[in-house]
Amino acid sequence: MTSKHNAAAPQGALVLFSGGQDSTTCLAWALERYPRVETIGFDYGQRHAVELTVRPTILEKMRAMNPDWAARLDADHLIDLSLIAAISDTAMTSNVAITMQENGLPNTFVPGRNLLFLTVAATVAYRRGLDVLVGGMCETDFSGYPDCRDDTIKALQVALNLGMATRLRLETPLMWIDKAASWELARTLGGDALIDLIRADTHTCYLGERGTLHDWGYGCGECPACALRANGYQQFAAGNPA
């Protein structure tokens, strides 16, 4: 990360890229729209750290999939945010059963995670001359996390721009669509090749399970992330029979 912020630089995007289904779809979405796209991932002591190991393969295959994407896809940044695990007590950062809490949220909710992710990403974007952040937050088909809601993202966009004197834009292409529509969006963006990549190479399961390849991808099949992904794929497949 060497270049300085330059208001006159061509518009570019920094995609929050975890290695999961949603962020991979968002990456394809950004590659269709922006002349330069960089990616950023976070090692925060997550229980499913396997998602970090699949990221390079996904990036390599997306470059090979489309020459235009290859020309636009630039640097990847992996940031150490292990302090999140140090100050959190959640099922995403500890080996405990996934349950609902008294506040109505699942204990997979990591307080402040997306707020910190976006703040750090905005700092990297500033230095790299990028003026769009792209994230896979969604409040249509999700686990109820308050930091995935549209109001949160809009408020944070205002705060970041006030705090850095920028005109950064936060884009959330999945915000108002469900998982079935996310699968369909991926097919629209990259055809069957992108669907196959998402199935076989991305990782979403909270437990980090990659022992069995289901029709919807790898995972335990029981955690909330797997349930959403599997149900969405079944609806998508029903509308797109072979």
Task: Convert the pLDDT of each residue in 92-119 to its tens digit.
Answer: 544 544 555 555 555 455 667 888 899 9
191: left (phi over 0), alpha (psi -120 to 50) or beta: left
Q: Which residues pair with 36 in a beta bridge?
A: 12
Average pLDDT on 78-89 reads: 76
The answer to whether residue 51 sits within a structural domain is yes
Q: What is the pLDDT of residue 233?
A: 96
User: Which comes out higher in pLDDT, residue 45 or 153?
Assistant: 153
Q: What is the pLDDT of residue 110?
A: 61
The answer to whether residue 223 sits within a structural domain is no
pLDDT of 184 over the 80 cut: yes
The answer to whether residue 7 sits within a structural domain is no
Mean pLDDT value across the chain: 86
User: Any idea which of 45-49, 56-60, 156-160 has the lowest mean pLDDT?
Assistant: 45-49
Q: What is the pLDDT of residue 96?
A: 44
Q: What is the pLDDT of residue 12?
A: 97
Q: Exposure of 235 by Cβ count < 10 A (0-12 exposed, 13-18 middle, 19+ buried)? A: middle
Domain count, the chain: 1
Q: Domain with 131 in it: what CATH number?
A: 3.40.50.620
Residue with tokens 């029981």: 222
User: Whose CA is closest to 204, among 92, 68, 64?
Assistant: 92
Which distant-in-sequence residues (6+ apart) come within 8 Å of 69 by Cβ? 28, 31, 62, 63
The answer to whether residue 208 sits within a structural domain is no
Which distant-in-sequence residues (6+ apart) come within 8 Å of 68 by Cβ? 31
Banded model confidence at residue 240, pLDDT cuts 50, 70, 90? confident
Question: What pTM, to 2 d.p., does this model score?
Answer: 0.87
Q: DSSP assignment, residue 207?
A: T
Print the domain residue range for 166. 12-199
The answer to whether residue 241 sits within a structural domain is no
The answer to whether residue 222 sits within a structural domain is no
Q: What is the pLDDT of residue 168?
A: 96
The 3 state secondary structure assigned to 101-165 is: CCCCCECCCCCCHHHHHHHHHHHHHHHHCCCEEECCCCCCCCCCCHHHCHHHHHHHHHHHHHHHC
Banded model confidence at residue 148, pLDDT cuts 50, 70, 90? confident
pLDDT in tens, 20-30: 999 999 999 99
Q: What is the pLDDT of residue 11?
A: 80
Banded model confidence at residue 15, pLDDT cuts 50, 70, 90? very high
pLDDT in tens, 124-137: 999 999 999 999 99
The answer to whether residue 50 sits within a structural domain is yes
The answer to whether residue 69 sits within a structural domain is yes
Q: Exposure of 119 by Cβ count < 10 A (0-12 exposed, 13-18 middle, 19+ buried)? A: middle
Average pLDDT on 191-219 reads: 94
Q: What is the pLDDT of residue 242?
A: 60
Q: What is the pLDDT of residue 77?
A: 98
pLDDT of 120 over the 90 cut: yes
